[in-house]
Structure 1
Amino acid sequence: MSKPVIPALAAALALGLGLTACGSGSGSGSDSASGGGGDDGTLVVGATAVPAGEVLSYIKKDLAAKNGLDLQVQEFTDYVLPNTALQEGSLDANLYQNEPYLDDFNKAKGTDLVPVVKAYLPPMGVYSKTVQDVTKLADGATVAVPNDTTNEGRALKLLASKGVITLKEGAGTTASPADIAKNPKNLRFKELEPAQLPRSLDDVAAAVINNNYAQDAGLSPAEDAILLESAKNNPYANLLAVKKGNEDDPRVEKLAKLLTSPEVRKFIEDKYQGSVLPVTSG
């Protein structure tokens, strides 16, 4: 989804943010937003480019004005800075993360960010240039996975859903390779920054890649993934989040309603053709 920006990585490191869920980078405003919009009525929302930024851009262009919403979108190239900016008040809301990641971030960073509404599901997938079936991975093959807590757990659960590995009983959303109970193919796991995973495909047998980075790299999750998450009982829908206490902000409520509107559902279905799945309720 994102294209790494070296100066922003330095900024993130300077902030002491070790939890890098999406890659290395900084905010790169798609609008000239420099802070929260509470004073002038503008709602400033942080997002990664795909699909969050595209969904918000559609709302801004086609739906916001006629629904009385002044919307400004600020794009980021990682999963850390949109939350720190939201906590510090330079954003009014953000759209890019799932609830397990948000919960883990709050716990690790002492933030108090809360979900407002689920907007869509960007299914995680397994990709490979060498096999067409994840169960056909060779003995001892190397599989690249995200190196942050919740995305790594998500990746391992996806592999376990096809019996490639078995996780220990009780392994939750923060599962790691240490929680693998059975590994019949003796797979080796290479932990990488999520943004680097598409580039790793030439060097590993398979990679489990976040939806946004897969699409940024020109991959179609619906067509190219050799294993794709199911929408059924999936806890990883991306959500609109705000700082606690701002859930009832009228601007936030307007955006939440638009995100789950029939118009946005149709936009998602038409544009992503199964690579991103709409969510119709929170």
Structure 2
Amino acid sequence: MKTKLIEFKNKDKNILRGIVVLPKKINQGVIMIGGFEGNATTEKKYKVLSDELYKFNIASFRIDYTGCGLSDGDFSKITIKKVTQDLLMTYRLFKNEFGINNISVAGHSMGCCAIANLEKNNIFKKMILLAPALNQKKLLRYWYVKNSMKYLNSKIKITWKNYKKYLNEKEFQKFCLKKDRMTDKNYVSDIYYLENKSQDYLAIMDAKNIFIINGNDDDVVPIESLENKKKIDVIVKNGDHDLERPDMVNQWKNKAIKFLIG
């Protein structure tokens, strides 16, 4: 199995890095991109998928976007627009440097929004969306209420069905303007929230060349956030948001590969 660490500069001159796996005879390629703070280069589900695709002579490119994993850049200024630009540059490099014309893409969570932005370009043969966080407008409010309630009243369990009951829109709008918030890994400015507080990327669900995978126990991006369960191709039993545990991967991996090679 021929594996390469690839480095290239993005639009902002940051060095992006990814892992390319090349079969001897390549019939198509798949780009893999992570979600919010996700590292596609090292995520187990993508490593497993990449290894399986190799058996079918499918090359893969696991890319870390700006500020994540192996790639350089300031994550605090991340936006879906920037992730989209990184994904587009990855596509162009994969196609031009390795001569691969049929390229598909797999994205997780927020990464699916970048795929949605490029759907109209018709550059991807097929698109796999894992736990897609497409409904950003509502998800940002859901996450805000869920996190706030931990401090206001931890006895109240926030769900997709009840979060609107506890939403203070005025306080949410103030929250979106905060410039000093912090996750477990990074600082996050207001740019991402201002970009997406009124935005959704659900239109991609009408595309014919997509394959959607969700976990029925995902409380980060609940299935209901997609607003049309009929569009979901695989609902993973006991599946969480990461969809990475072996018993979860085994429920969607072969079906996703069949979709890609079909």
Calculate the TM-score normalised by the size of structure 1.
0.39
The structure showing larger relative contact order (alpha-carbon pairs under 8 Å, at least 6 residues apart) is 1
